Amino acid sequence: MPTRRTLLAGAAAVAAAPALAACGEQAGAARRTRQAPRAPGRRIDLVFWTWVPLQKAAALWNRKHPDIHVTVQTVPANTSGGYQKMHSSLKAGDPPDLAQVEYYALPEFMLVGGLTDLTAYGADKLKDAYVDWQWQQGVFAGRTYAVPQASGPMGFFYREDLFERWDVEVPRTWDAFRTAASQIRKRSGGASRISAFPPANAQWFASFPWQRGAHWVRTEGDTWVVDLASPESLEVADFWDGLVRDDLLLPTQDAQSAFFKALQTGQLAGWPGAQWYDALIRGNAPGTKGKWRVAELPQWEPGAHASANWGGSATAILQGTRHPAEALRFAHWLNTDPDSVELLVEAGYGWPAAELDLADSPLGRPSDFFSGQAYNEVFQLSDRNVDTSWRFGPTTTQSYAHIQDDIGRVVAGHGTIKDALKDAETKFVDDLKAKGLKARSAR
């Protein structure tokens, strides 16, 4: 088995994703995965930690597979506690069999040897059932460590009734977005804004430099190169700086009660968000049924269709399970079985990682909530135009926290987003070095 130093030094060797393969010298997981013998007639019990409402899909599996029972246990979403709990369980040697892990966090789990090598259990035979770029999110050093579940292609949710009331054209470019933002503020008497600007959501903000062609992290040989302050990123930052400065956005955190109230009352007339936000809008602004539509994300170049991704998760099998083969079987079924995928779509889990025919999928149906629009056609186009060369480093959670802290100060009236990115770049490099990795700024 390669040593820790060898694997970390070779972190950039794989084109599909930075290689951070697990190794025995890592102390992250107290127990190693080992397949337990299967006793005839004895039921296998699996535990799955997730924040996505997957109970209906798990119940369907349990009815169809009485020999392998899956218990879904809810943990806090992403950085608010779920990952800390997972890492603690790995160190204690009592992890769940399966866990929901976002694509950006997979390298962090690899760094501590927290994921099971699924290639050893036949996972690579399943890859053709999935969208390739999503499958590759769980591939490190040529081995598969996670089964992709869903992604988050971006689009622009907007209140059709309000845009028509104020005679505002739906923006197709970012220049037009600024124009529309000014018109909405003026024609609503200052009561409405075109979008929120969350002070603590680095993933949301990152989607815009991603769309512009920036790459915040890349690798050169055995060195991580951090480039938050590239010309593309600073152009995007300057754009949003202007909107914040001119009071054209609502400075409120998304996915919170104030945000959803603003959607419900019309204080927010739009939201550039990921496909999975459809369920959040439906569930938290029910009084706006029939008033929403979806358009492509505004473009930097007229006529282009560039897009980006926000979010996306894998079904990971944590290091230490005693039932990796059975867990892999469930993970594949969960994310490809048509009945399961339909239940997941209803739960708003995101854009499926499984290859699908939109016309034959519940995603392809017109939506009464979205004005009768088959709105996922927009997200299908978005998904096809995501720049799949964007990469995540093994310190994304803590490094994005720096970005959020800096942008939070900007929203509070201190500094600019351009300066925030420059400051966060230095901290990002320091985070990587603190993990024993070679890293430098692009400048």
Please determine, for residue 23, whether its predicted confidence score (pLDDT) is greater than 80: no
Predicted pLDDT of residue 287: 97
CA separation for the pair 270, 304 (Å, rounded): 21
Residues 297 and 314 in one domain: no
Please determine, for residue 186, whether its predicted confidence score (pLDDT) is greater than 70: yes
Torsion, Cα 267 272 276 277, to 10 degrees, reads -10
- Long-range contacts formed by 213-216: CB under 8 A, 24+ apart: 213/306, 213/387, 215/389, 215/390, 215/391, 216/390, 216/428
Question: What digits encode the pLDDT tens for the residues 400-415?
Answer: 999 999 999 999 999 9
Predicted pLDDT of residue 78: 62
Please determine, for residue 25, whether its predicted confidence score (pLDDT) is greater than 90: no
Average pLDDT over residues 57-61: 98
Please give the share of the chain, as a percent, with pLDDT higher than 90: 88
Predicted pLDDT of residue 22: 34
Predicted pLDDT of residue 59: 98
Residues 437 and 413 in one domain: yes
Residues 285 and 253 in one domain: yes
Residues 293 and 348 in one domain: no
**What type of residue is 185?**
R
**Domain end (from 384, 411, 426):** 384
Average pLDDT over residues 237-260: 97
Residues 80 and 128 in one domain: yes
Backbone angles phi, psi at 93, to 5 degrees: 80, 20
Predicted pLDDT of residue 79: 59
**Domain end (from 384, 400, 420):** 384
Residues 290 and 355 in one domain: no
Predicted pLDDT of residue 348: 83
Predicted pLDDT of residue 346: 84
Lowest mean pLDDT: which of 259-273, 321-335, 359-373?
359-373
**Domain end (from 335, 353, 384):** 384
Please determine, for residue 381, whether its predicted confidence score (pLDDT) is greater than 70: yes
Residues 114 and 234 in one domain: no
Please determine, for residue 144, whether its predicted confidence score (pLDDT) is greater than 50: yes
- CATH number of the domain enclosing 115: 3.40.190.10
Please determine, for residue 335, whether its predicted confidence score (pLDDT) is greater than 70: yes
Please determine, for residue 66, whether its predicted confidence score (pLDDT) is greater than 50: yes
Cα–Cα nearest to 174, from 273, 269, 240, 246: 240
Decide: pTM greater than 0.85. Answer: yes
Residues 298 and 323 in one domain: no
Q: How many C-beta atoms lie closer than 10 Å to residue 434's C-beta?
A: 11
Please determine, for residue 319, whether its predicted confidence score (pLDDT) is greater than 60: yes
Question: Domain count of the chain?
Answer: 2
CA separation for the pair 242, 174 (Å, rounded): 12
Residues 59 and 120 in one domain: yes
Residues 127 and 179 in one domain: no
Question: What digits encode the pLDDT tens for the residues 30-44?
Answer: 999 999 998 888 999
Q: Which residues contact 294 (CB under 8 A, 6 or more apart)?
A: 155, 156, 157, 158, 278, 370, 373, 375, 378, 379
Q: Residue 285 is part of which domain span?
A: 157-308+390-441
Task: Return the biggest CA–CA distance within the chain.
Answer: 72
Predicted pLDDT of residue 380: 95
Please determine, for residue 173, whether its predicted confidence score (pLDDT) is greater than 70: yes
Predicted pLDDT of residue 5: 34
Residues 411 and 262 in one domain: yes
Residues 399 and 285 in one domain: yes
Predicted pLDDT of residue 27: 52
Please give the share of the chain, as a percent, with pLDDT higher than 70: 93
* Contact of 391 with 217, CB cutoff 8 Å: yes
Lowest mean pLDDT: which of 170-174, 219-223, 267-271, 325-329?
219-223
